[in-house]
Structure 1
């Protein structure tokens, strides 16, 4: 009886591990686009992620924000994320990740006292994706450090 229980437990564990996989395997590219959750206005973003290791991805992103009161902002960011699917045994149609970024932000104001401001800012993010098909999903991310601070949501395509 103990042997049977051990065999069944081992098979259950192995089948669970086999179902979990890196959502962005090495050599895979993912395109992300959508809207930000920011104060004053709704920024738009576009980015790409590249699988570089078993649980790692790197990528870039650009975002644009425009307010009616003569304010615009652009953000260009490079990011690195760790995907927790393998260690948390998350099914392959979900993706849970966290990481950091470096953000170059340019603000333009049409006021008499300030014209432009630029700078580099560190950022952090934690997010997730749900894939309806092997190549299409929705994403949601909470973040800080750029014009998308607060969060973002959109679509993801991987190929």
Structure 2
């Protein structure tokens, strides 16, 4: 966990170091941000491939604080071989909940009005399903079930048009790295 937090801090500082300093606000009070995204990896996933499709929606309560919700679908697949038996495991996770962000542009006096660095936290719920295929007997059940899911994230957006941009995030608690498009309304 300490390594994950240090990783988020380093990424946040790297994102901020690419900006120039002077006063501006990239997200304005009243903006609504809709961000479909693709993530790689997953909080619960061990080996194998985990791909997440999600969408975040946030309303800017002030120039610095936004909040809203998220929903994400993750499919994690892996194969396992043991004593001549091969198994393909598949997990499906659905995550949904609330998230809040603090936008650092004004605090850090970022002059590039297209650049929006932010960080925040989320609290949600996850549910999962499990299936397998193989040529042997599998005595394994879905041990993930359903649970509350807290987490933190850091990211940055770059608006190449006034209302359309791209973003990248790192997080602890959902998908370690994700990115996508942001639409500002």
TM range (shorter): 0.7 to 0.9
Alignment-derived partner of residue 129 in structure 2: 108
Alignment-derived partner of residue 12 in structure 2: none
CA shift digits 1:63-117 (9 cap, x unpaired) = 1112453311111021111100001111210000011110211111126542460
Alignment-derived partner of residue 45 in structure 1: 54
Greater per-residue helix proportion? 1
Greater per-residue strand proportion? 2
Deviation beyond 6 Å, 4+ runs, structure 1? none
Shifted more, 114-123 versus 98-107: the winner is 114-123
Gaps of 5+ in 2: 1-21, 43-48, 78-88, 133-138
Q: Is the 8 A contact 1:29 1:48 kept in 2?
A: yes
User: What is the root-mean-square deviation in Å for CA atoms of aligned residues?
Assistant: 1.8
TM-score calculated relative to the size of structure 2:
0.70
Gaps of 5+ in 1: 1-15
- Residue 173 of structure 2, aligned match among 141, 145, 154: 145
Shifted more, 33-42 versus 86-95: the winner is 33-42
Shifted more, 98-107 versus 65-74: the winner is 65-74
Alignment-derived partner of residue 95 in structure 1: 116
Alignment-derived partner of residue 85 in structure 2: none
- The structure with the larger Rg is 1
How many pairs align? 140
Alignment-derived partner of residue 33 in structure 2: 30
TM-score calculated relative to the size of structure 1:
0.81
